[in-house]
Structures are given as C-alpha cells and as structure tokens.
Chains A and B, each alone.
Chain A
C-alpha cells in the first residue's frame, strides 16, 4: 500500500484514495461533431503502461478532490502530484 501526497491534505495512505484511470483525456467539447471512431477513441482507448504513467486519483475518503499523479507502474514510485487543470511538471 503506497502513500500519496494529496495536494490539499498532504501524505495519506493509498486506502483513502480511489484510482481514476489515465489522466489528461479531455472530454470533447463538441461530441456531436465526432465520427464514431473519434468518439470511441475518447470513450474506450486507454494506455496501460509499464513505467511512467499519468493518472487521475481522487481523495475519496478525505477531501474528495481529484488530482493527477505521475506514477511508475513498475515499482509504484510516485514522481509528481499536481492539481487538476495544472500542467504536468516537466520530467
């Protein structure tokens, strides 16, 4: 069980959080303009990387805020934590 530093609450146990999948997938502003394939790309296609992955997490049993983390999925080391809407820190 790893520790996550919530940008609002500080370091807490992983059990307080919920993983929310890949980060930086923006909901299309005009879905109706998209082809089936383009919409499917947004809807279904996710990366599953062994290594550095950008992820959404939610402090669901704490402040309930969503934020992003950069995690190495091979060893669970968290490289960075940043708020929603912020740009990922340069590696």
Chain B
C-alpha cells in the first residue's frame, strides 16, 4: 500500500518512533501518537468490520468515542482479549494485535453478507414477527439466533489486569478539555477553587488544538497557538489537577460522577506488568462545569454507510492531528459551513477535492469563498442520492434538491471519489447533563437540544451548550463562568475573535432519493443496521413513543448508544408523524457514556475479595481437620468433617450417631449475640418475643420466638438472664444483623421511653457446644470447679465459670435434644478451649460435627430452623408452636396479626412431620406435596422443607408445610417426582425422644 497518505506536518505524531502492529494477521506500521484508526487509514485501510444485521462492509466513520462502525476485537485470543473496542480510541503501541468482528471467514469475504441480499425480508421486528409460531419451536430458533447474535467475542479466561477504585473530592470539576474547558479550568483554579479537569483523549485542547486555520483566530493568533499557551499556563497551576484518558461514565444527582481513568492501555503489553489498568474514579464535586463539546451529525441518504464515508470533522482531524489523508480523491457533502474548514485543511496539503455538495442554495461565508477561489467545484442546492463501491466507496451520484427539499429533481450526475466527508451540523453532547437530571429544550433555528433546567450546582458551556461559533464559545464561556463561580474575571478581559464561518444550515433529516423509500438503505443507526425505512415502518405499525420506536427498531441500542443517529431518528419520526420536533423529547441517556470494562466496575473486588466472609475463631482448626465449609450469611461454617474416603452422607451419618451415642462438639460461634442491658430490659423482651419474660429468674435461659408485625416468624434463639437488668440474646446466624436493626428501630422510634441498651457481641465470643450422654463428663474435665449436678445446674440455666484464669459463661441448653453445654468464652481463647474439649473428650470418642449434622439432629427433634422450615409466611400457630405464644400478654410485636381473618384460616400451610412408606427413601427438600394426582390441575398442598436419613431412627424423616396439615395426622399424601410418586404419611414433627427423656436423664 502506498504510504503517500501520510503527511509529515503534524507535531502530534512522533515520526522518529515507528510502531508495528497487526490487523487481521497482517503487519502494518504507524507512529507514536497514532490511533489504530489513523494508522490503518495511513495504510489505506477503511474496511474494518461487518455490520450487525446485514453484514455490510463498514469502515472508520469518526475519530472519537462516538464511533459506531470501526469496532474491533483487541488482543485476539489472549487473556486480555476485548470485544467492541473503538479503533478510533485505541492508541497504538508496539505489538498491538487487533482483528475485525462479526465476519466469517474474513472481513473481505463474509458469508453473513447474504443477509444484505435478504434485507427486504428482514425489516424491523423481523425476529419478533417471524419466530412467534409455533411457540414450542422457540428453543430451536433461539439456538440459531443466539449463534448469529453479538459482535465480538468475550474472553474465556480471567482478566490478568489490575483495576481499582478511587474517591476524589473537589470544588470544581471540569469535564472536557476543549477550548471552553481549558478556559473554565483556568478561571476556576486561579480563583482558588480546587479544580479537576478531565478529558477522554490523550491530549488537551479538543478540536481547537489542531485548528491553525486563518479563519478562526483569537487575539490575532491561530486558535491552536493561543490554546497551546493557555494549556502551558494551566499545567503549572497548583490547585488544578488534570487527568487525560479519563472519561466520565456517569453523572448522577448531587454532583456525584463516575469516571474511568485509563492508565495502561496505550502501553506495550510488557510495560503493563503490576500496573493498574483502569481506575474508576468516584468524584464528588461541589460544582460541575460540563464542556463536553458536540458531535458532528452525519447525513441520511441512500447507502450512506460505505467504507470511505466519514464525518467531515474526522477527515480534518486525521489530516491536521495525525497527518493522514483519508482519501486521494475527496468529495465533501454538507448542509453547513463545517466542511469548508476540512476543505481548507485538505487544500493546504494539496490533497484533491473533487467536489463539494452543499444542500444550501446560498453559500456566502468568507471561508466558502476562499475554497471556491481554489477552483473547487461546489454543487449548491444539491444532494447525494446514492453511493457505489462494495468494500470502499468509489462513486456517488448527486441530484438537485427541490425548493422545499422534499424531492430531488433534474439529472443524476455521477462523481468519482475514494472518500466522502459528510456534515449534517452539530449535536451538543448533552448526555451527561441529562444523566444528572437536567431538562433539555429544543432550539428551532438549528434543530438542537440544549440544556435548559439544571438539577444541581452545574453549568454547561461551549458547544455542548449550543454555542457553535468560536466567538460565542469564548465570550459565553467567560460571561457564564463569572456568574457561576461568582468571580470577577481578570483572565479574559480583552479577547478578540475573528471567524470566517457562518452558522447557516439547511436541515433535512432524511434526504430525498429518486428511488422509493422501500428500495433505499439510508442508515440512521449504523451499528445496529437501523434504516429510515425501519423507523417509518415502526410508525406505520402504530408505534408513537420514541422509546418504543427505539426498542422496536433497535435504533440507538448499539455499543455507541446512537451518538450519531439518534437525532435523525427523532427528526424522521417527527417529519413522518407530522409533529413538531422537540414534542417527542429524546430517549433516555443512560450511563455509561462509553462502555466500561467489567474490571473497572469491580475494581479490586475479585477472587477472594469478591465477597467478604467471616471466619470463627476456631476456623483454622476446622481447616486442619479436613472440614468442608458452607456459607451461612457471610460466615464460613464447618459443614461436615469427612474422614478418609467418606462422602458427605457417610460423614453426617457417623457424626449424628456419635453425638447421640457418646459426645459431639459443634462450633456455634456464628450465632448472633446481642447484649441487652437496662432497667426495662425485661419489659423490652416481653414486647419483642411472643412468650413472657418478666418472671425468668436470674441465671435461667429461655427459648424465644420473634415475629414481624405481620405475625410471621422472624427469628428465634435462646436468651439468658445474666443479671437483674442484663440479658444476652442469641439469634440465628443469618438473622443477627437484621434482628439488632429491628430491635434498635423499635427502641428508637416506638418505645424511646424504655431504658434499654443493645450491643452486638457476636464477634466477641467463641461458642462451643458439647452434647451427648458423655458431655457432662467432658465438661467436668474441662471446668473441674463447676458443679454440674442437675440440682445446681439444671437444664435451661447458666453459670459463670473459669477455664484457667479465663472467665467464661456456660449455658446448659440443647438444640439436639441431648444433654448439652454451651461454653461462651472471649473469642481469642476459642480455639484453645475447643482443643481442650477435644482432648478431654478423646476417651469418649468426642466427634466434631458440622452444620449438616446439627440440622439432622434438630430435625429428629422437630426443632425448626427459621429460614429453612419457615419463609416469612408462617405464624407460630402454623408451626404448631402455640405453646410459645403468650395468651396473657397484652401486646407484643405481631400479636394483633395472629387473629386477622387471614391468619386464623384453618387451611393455612402448617408444619408437619412426613414419613415415607419406604423408610430408606429420602425426600428432596423443596419437593411438592399433593393429595390427589388424578385431578387436573393437581392441587399443590405444600412442600418439603427439611429431609434427612436419621441414623438414630434408622429411617427417613422429613418436615414440610401442608395446607391444613395440623388436622391430617396419619393421612397419606403423595410427593410426585420426575419418575415416580412417593407415598408419605403425615406424622408428628417430633420424631425422636418425644418425652425428652434424654435431656432429663441422670448422667
């Protein structure tokens, strides 16, 4: 490929450092300072990828983050591989590897291109309409549709890069370092505001930094040289921080913004080691100045998507900033003065312009005359009606526009070209403004939406505020900032602007064609292949809301979010529907402005930091003793302790048997513990638990059930009266934080008169539960001084004790139905006391058991687990726990709800025991319970909540909730499974030792 597309005139390109990179497996060269797009263009490459739906060849269309077409797969096949990257934003580095997307076998010959020929039968909503019937075929359709959907490929292995999050607080945040952003940053920083200036590009100055035209001058200097001095000055300011390659992703309420700072993407891979790749900045600014500029509009005409068709401002930027000519035979097409600046840049470098097609009849600004003087043919009042060339544009045809601009007239003229620059005027980049909650207004004269009502302390300046001429930009920036920052301007007192451009424009949203619309392909959304035809179809089919049209046609739903075409879509809708532009509003602008990588969003919260977890003080012992763990809330709890080749079932059977036959030991440290003190502590417990607490003697323990105000069971646990005004409450592991929150809520808001203080002490104590017939012997060895006689230390009581010199609390409480003790000791002694218990219990074969065995043992006794056997739809009456609901207490949380018409229904789901006909058959938890399988539809009566094989009863046992189950004792029910029906009998939920003999046995 000839290299005379590169002009050695750009000071932004470092011609001394040549960089090699690969695109579609072929090596090319560019220079430091190039983007992938500019380097490819310098190599004469326009064709980058294939479009989403029709697989049409597509090329580079823009020079920035608005790019819809030139999206590539970066780092093929490596762990860093990234899809849908905009070639216009990738700064090249040595060894860069990129390839085309959405094409097979290659971008030059793509089988999917058949869709382009089929396009007449692929209109908007094609998939919705076609794959509806028969419904059962959907799964088959889906397979093929999914295969053809999507653009690039996601990585298949973990991301090797590091990401992080940072908080930034500043007085003034300036978004965008174009001419108005630079001026704003200077005014703010010089007036004592701690200022942050961010720009998504790798350089400062925006498009003005390469504008050395004679037609836009500031104080008699070219814009670029004036701006360079300004940039030089602000880079020395102390209270101004400047961040380049930093793109604002989201602008939330209260001036809270998210930005992505890109730190290493421009470096060769070998220089990225151990460096943070992206930083997500969480910015809280007192004031925000939005200077995000504007995005040039394309024009909508037939076949406006061919490679070689670019925005005119992009052509200017490629030649001025990168020294790259996009073509050797250019045609420019416009409805405003912008392309004449591009023309001047091309003329200056001697690049051929075949013609300029201008929609306007009158073209009379200074710059236009200057272009004409250079013998460039300007077709005034003309429009492009078609383009030619498959992989690259090679011809266009033009026709004269009628007076009203609705049709084309006269003869068709064909012009050759290898590059077509288009300009439909400019769209203010109001995305961030609207994200923040700002309201737009529509300006008729030049058909733009501009900021109107601000939602926070912020201002939009420059062209994102609808100021397009250099004079307006500079002067309005100064005057509005003086007001906004409440400062007296001393920086820009005298400023003289010379501009050779007019702001006249002839806006036609959809340019007319000599063909019927059905025969045209005028792309509105390039990435999603949505055409003007699709939008008109949607309107004909009755869609009116812009939000609905958007979703039906997928206009604006690509990774570029329709930065180029959304305005045209609105324009075509209002022209077609005969409504006024602006009445429809716009579609919602949602964050992020440009796509963020997942890495940026999660930051350091990956791997073991993805979700925090809590470990008990005895955790290391469990690990050392081969425990398997389960997650309970945030806790890692020992689940079971397999020996040698044991599977889970075998381990649990062994542990369960050992606990009842001799002794078991459980780490119960995760149970929530709340210390309750105060003169009204007893009264408080009376109000939060269903049972009575005033008469509980000091030194005694009691099981309590807590309801929600709606009468449903919320939590349970044993609470111990440590002193006259001192209790310790235990809660379920998962419910601890919520129970504390609920208790605090009632204390602070409903009963502030109560003298009660709550402290969470869950982490302060290790809790070790020793159970079984030999537990007493073991505890007497661990704490020899403690009198364990039934008289001195009966069931449901507590004693203060000492192990060595360390104080501990010992409760005689049981969740297994066995004689058992619970030692609570300062957390850091937990592990050593556990080990002491293990050693003392060795002669009794003390067996550590995990949560699975705990669940099995309590199920044998019919004890519920809140959250497993209950699900916030069960009252204590439903659980057959009437005994714990005080009849005498006037009030407690949830009491009134226990006799609402709904809660007293007899046919509510109630907790029952279930026994299988075949004692070896273990039910599946969650299985449905029915009575009659012949009836259709089958009536669901309830479901299985807990199910185990009990080694102590040598049969399968289960708990479940069944409609009206309370009165169904002995009744036969059916559990229908995939391949069989299991017969069960409703039983008492207490399966083992109903009389509690083991608890009271003399040991």
A residues within 8 Å of B by Cβ? 1-3, 18, 20, 26-27, 30-32, 34, 36, 39-40, 43, 56, 58, 60, 64-66, 75-76, 84-85
In the assembled complex, the Cα of A88 lies from the Cα of B745 at a distance in Å of 19
Given A3-B254, A43-B709, A75-B455; A64-B744 close (CB under 8 Å): yes
The reply on B883 being an interface residue by CB < 8 A is no
Cross-chain contact B253 with A58 (CB below 8 angstroms): no
Cross-chain contact B253 with A31 (CB below 8 angstroms): no
Cross-chain contact B900 with A56 (CB below 8 angstroms): no
Please give, as numbers and ranges, the residues of chain A lying within 8 Å of B855 by CB-CB distance: none
Please give, as numbers and ranges, the residues of chain A lying within 8 Å of B437 by CB-CB distance: 75-76
Which chain B residues (880-903) contact chain A, with CB distance < 8 Å?
890-891, 895-897, 900-901
The reply on B710 being an interface residue by CB < 8 A is yes
The chain A residue with its CB closest to the CB of B711 is A43
B684 smallest CB distance to A (angstroms)? 14
A67 smallest CB distance to B (angstroms)? 9
Cross-chain contact B253 with A75 (CB below 8 angstroms): yes
Cross-chain contact A39 with B752 (CB below 8 angstroms): no
Given A31-B895, A43-B897, A85-B752; A20-B745 close (CB under 8 Å): yes
A63 smallest CB distance to B (angstroms)? 11
Could you pull out 12 A-B pairs where Cβ atoms are within 8 angstroms? A1-B252, A26-B750, A32-B896, A36-B901, A39-B897, A56-B749, A58-B741, A64-B744, A66-B745, A66-B748, A75-B455, A84-B749
Given A36-B900, A36-B901, A66-B745; A84-B252 close (CB under 8 Å): no
Please give, as numbers and ranges, the residues of chain A lying within 8 Å of B829 by CB-CB distance: none
In the assembled complex, the Cα of A64 lies from the Cα of B455 at a distance in Å of 30
- B242-271 contact mask (Cβ, 8 Å, vs A): 1 or 0: 000000000011101000000000000000
Cross-chain contact B253 with A32 (CB below 8 angstroms): no
Neighbour of A27 across the interface among B252, B741, B750, B897, CB < 8 A: B750
Which chain B residues (741-774) contact chain A, with CB distance < 8 Å?
741, 744-745, 748-750, 752
Cross-chain contact B900 with A32 (CB below 8 angstroms): no
Which chain B residues (723-755) contact chain A, with CB distance < 8 Å?
741, 744-745, 748-750, 752
In the assembled complex, the Cα of A58 lies from the Cα of B256 at a distance in Å of 21
Give the number of chain B interface residues (Cβ < 8 Å). 22
In the assembled complex, the Cα of A39 lies from the Cα of B895 at a distance in Å of 11
- B411-440 contact mask (Cβ, 8 Å, vs A): 1 or 0: 000000000000000000000000001000
The chain B residue with its CB closest to the CB of A26 is B750
B759 smallest CB distance to A (angstroms)? 11
**Known pairs A2-B253, A31-B896, A43-B897. 5 more at Cβ < 8 A?**
A18-B741, A40-B900, A66-B748, A75-B455, A84-B752
Cross-chain contact A60 with B741 (CB below 8 angstroms): yes
Please give, as numbers and ranges, the residues of chain A lying within 8 Å of B744 by CB-CB distance: 64, 66
In the assembled complex, the Cα of A10 lies from the Cα of B745 at a distance in Å of 20
Q: Lowest 6 A-B CB distances belong to which pairs?
A: A31-B896, A2-B254, A66-B748, A27-B750, A1-B256, A76-B253
Given A2-B253, A76-B254; A32-B897 close (CB under 8 Å): no
Task: State the majority secondary structure of interface residues on B.
Answer: loop
Please give, as numbers and ranges, the residues of chain A lying within 8 Å of B752 by CB-CB distance: 84-85
B454 smallest CB distance to A (angstroms)? 11
Given A58-B745, A66-B749; A34-B254 close (CB under 8 Å): no
Cross-chain contact B897 with A84 (CB below 8 angstroms): no
Please give, as numbers and ranges, the residues of chain A lying within 8 Å of B750 by CB-CB distance: 26-27
The chain A residue with its CB closest to the CB of B437 is A75
Given A60-B741, A75-B437; A32-B455 close (CB under 8 Å): no
A90 smallest CB distance to B (angstroms)? 22
Which chain B residues (252-305) contact chain A, with CB distance < 8 Å?
252-254, 256
Please give, as numbers and ranges, the residues of chain A lying within 8 Å of B901 by CB-CB distance: 36
Neighbour of B891 across the interface among A20, A32, A60, CB < 8 A: A32
Cross-chain contact A39 with B891 (CB below 8 angstroms): no
Given A39-B897, A75-B437, A75-B455; A1-B749 close (CB under 8 Å): no
Cross-chain contact B748 with A39 (CB below 8 angstroms): no
Cross-chain contact A39 with B254 (CB below 8 angstroms): no
The chain B residue with its CB closest to the CB of A83 is B748
The chain A residue with its CB closest to the CB of B256 is A1
In the assembled complex, the Cα of A17 lies from the Cα of B12 at a distance in Å of 49
Please give, as numbers and ranges, the residues of chain B lying within 8 Å of A85 by CB-CB distance: 752
Please give, as numbers and ranges, the residues of chain B lying within 8 Å of A26 by CB-CB distance: 750
Please give, as numbers and ranges, the residues of chain A lying within 8 Å of B895 by CB-CB distance: 31-32
In the assembled complex, the Cα of A60 lies from the Cα of B965 at a distance in Å of 41
The chain A residue with its CB closest to the CB of B758 is A64
Given A32-B890, A39-B897, A39-B900; A84-B253 close (CB under 8 Å): no
Please give, as numbers and ranges, the residues of chain A lying within 8 Å of B891 by CB-CB distance: 30-32
Please give, as numbers and ranges, the residues of chain B lying within 8 Å of A75 by CB-CB distance: 253, 437, 455
In the assembled complex, the Cα of A60 lies from the Cα of B740 at a distance in Å of 11
Cross-chain contact B748 with A1 (CB below 8 angstroms): no
The chain B residue with its CB closest to the CB of A38 is B896
The chain A residue with its CB closest to the CB of B744 is A64
In the assembled complex, the Cα of A74 lies from the Cα of B925 at a distance in Å of 45
The chain A residue with its CB closest to the CB of B252 is A1
Please give, as numbers and ranges, the residues of chain B lying within 8 Å of A43 by CB-CB distance: 709-710, 897
B890 smallest CB distance to A (angstroms)? 7
In the assembled complex, the Cα of A84 lies from the Cα of B744 at a distance in Å of 13
Please give, as numbers and ranges, the residues of chain B lying within 8 Å of A18 by CB-CB distance: 741
The chain B residue with its CB closest to the CB of A4 is B254
The chain B residue with its CB closest to the CB of A65 is B748
Please give, as numbers and ranges, the residues of chain B lying within 8 Å of A58 by CB-CB distance: 741, 745
In the assembled complex, the Cα of A2 lies from the Cα of B709 at a distance in Å of 30
In the assembled complex, the Cα of A39 lies from the Cα of B897 at a distance in Å of 8
B739 smallest CB distance to A (angstroms)? 14
The chain A residue with its CB closest to the CB of B258 is A1
In the assembled complex, the Cα of A32 lies from the Cα of B744 at a distance in Å of 24
In the assembled complex, the Cα of A67 lies from the Cα of B884 at a distance in Å of 34
The chain A residue with its CB closest to the CB of B900 is A36
A31 smallest CB distance to B (angstroms)? 4
The chain A residue with its CB closest to the CB of B745 is A66
In the assembled complex, the Cα of A85 lies from the Cα of B900 at a distance in Å of 30
In the assembled complex, the Cα of A84 lies from the Cα of B752 at a distance in Å of 9
Please give, as numbers and ranges, the residues of chain B lying within 8 Å of A60 by CB-CB distance: 741
- B695-736 contact mask (Cβ, 8 Å, vs A): 1 or 0: 000000000000001100000000000000000000000000
In the assembled complex, the Cα of A58 lies from the Cα of B709 at a distance in Å of 19
Cross-chain contact A39 with B749 (CB below 8 angstroms): no
In the assembled complex, the Cα of A65 lies from the Cα of B570 at a distance in Å of 49
In the assembled complex, the Cα of A73 lies from the Cα of B897 at a distance in Å of 31
In the assembled complex, the Cα of A30 lies from the Cα of B207 at a distance in Å of 72
Cross-chain contact A34 with B748 (CB below 8 angstroms): no
Neighbour of A84 across the interface among B710, B748, B890, B896, CB < 8 A: B748
Which chain B residues (853-912) contact chain A, with CB distance < 8 Å?
890-891, 895-897, 900-901
Please give, as numbers and ranges, the residues of chain B lying within 8 Å of A84 by CB-CB distance: 748-749, 752
B889 smallest CB distance to A (angstroms)? 10
B292 smallest CB distance to A (angstroms)? 21
A45 smallest CB distance to B (angstroms)? 13
